[in-house]
Amino acid sequence: MDKRNVAFLCSVFLMLVGPLLAQSGPAIYVSTYTGRQILRVDGTTGAVTAVYTGSSNFLPEDVTVGPDNRIYVCDPTNGQIIRMNDNGTNVETVYNQPTGGPEGPRFNSAGTLFFNTKGLNPSGVWKIDGLSAIPFGGPFPVPVNVLKGSGNGEGLAFTNNGDLLVVNRSSGEVQRSLSLSPPPASAKTLITGLNDPIGIAVNSVDEIFVARGNSLNDIQRYAVVSNNWTPTTYVSFSATDQPVYLEFVSDDTLFVGTADAAMQNGKLGRHAAGPSSDNGLQNARRSTPEETREVSSCRGSWRACHKQIHH
């Protein structure tokens, strides 16, 4: 299934950069944290349409587009996940647990939604079975805790063979769960010693990309070398551009959302390099204007999600 949509989070103000958006590209869905909106950006013309505007307490963060082409929005502050049609109609709540702030939503090939948790009472990774196939109005399955955890959870990603990768921001780790059935599953720590990891993405050759903040402001690429996950710096950013969330589309173009230390002045960049033939070890580099293009910018933080290739 092609990745046709990419979604990001910013705050109230969105400024489009014309030259890139004049090219044909994916539809980009933007959730505005303080603006309480879901926006759709036309990847060809740059036109912005407000798809949905929430109530005064709606604080949308991570967004994904499911295999049903509906938009799924995490509001961890209020402990909710809502979904809607891609035109903002048929809005409904599919998850409502005030103490379990959902984050990092991802669908697997069966249309099951997985999400991490953070906030006051993080409890690991949960799933809602077959959610994308359930019609408007439900009823919805009871969420199942498939991978227990206690730290602040952030991004999730699936490898090409369906293993789940989980970012634990509190411990600075990436964990991998080889099996999610029967729950609760166990996870193996894959990568340790990360400083403030948030976003995670996997390309078509199963290299793992992790965004690091806390003044490091880079994306590390991990590839297996001599049976060990070996990091190289894929791209570095300025002191005012902290990478927050990142996503690949089907041609291995990487979209990266950045913000400053105050989670303001968000930007969306596109890194067009595909997978390397040497697992990335000789192609580590600092981004250049030729490799990195700014799609848009806003005053606010970014989070990235998309319509996925389902494994």
> For the chain, which residues make up each domain, given as ranges?
5-306
- CATH code, residues 5-306: 2.130.10.10
Phi, psi of 21 (to 5 degrees): -70, -15
Quick one: three-class SS letters along 94-108? EEECCCCEEEEEEEC
Tokens at residue 14, please?
């969105």
pLDDT of residue 121: 82
What is the chain's Cα-based Rg? 18
In the beta sheet, which residues pair with residue 103?
116
Angle at 271 between CA 268 and CA 276, to 5 degrees: 155
pLDDT of residue 1: 32
Tokens at residue 278, please?
């040497």
pLDDT of residue 306: 41
Tokens at residue 255, please?
């979209």
Alpha-carbon gap, residue 164 to 238, rounded angstroms: 31
pLDDT of residue 177: 85
CB of 302 within 8 A of CB of 213? Answer: no
Per-residue pLDDT tens digits of the chain, which is 311 residues long: 333 455 555 543 333 333 344 444 567 777 777 778 888 866 556 567 889 999 999 998 888 889 999 999 999 999 999 999 999 999 999 999 887 799 889 999 899 999 999 887 888 899 999 999 999 999 999 999 988 877 777 889 999 888 999 988 888 999 888 766 666 667 888 999 998 888 899 999 999 999 988 788 999 999 988 888 999 999 998 888 888 778 887 788 887 877 777 666 767 677 765 544 333 323 333 333 333 445 445 433 334 344 443 44
CB of 9 within 8 A of CB of 299? Answer: no
Phi, psi of 132 (to 5 degrees): -65, -20
> What is each CA distance from 28 to 94, 213, 234, 260, in whole angstroms?
23, 24, 24, 21
Instruction: State which H helix or E strand residue 21 sits in.
Output: helix 18-21
**pTM for the whole thing?**
0.80
In the beta sheet, which residues pair with residue 30?
8, 39
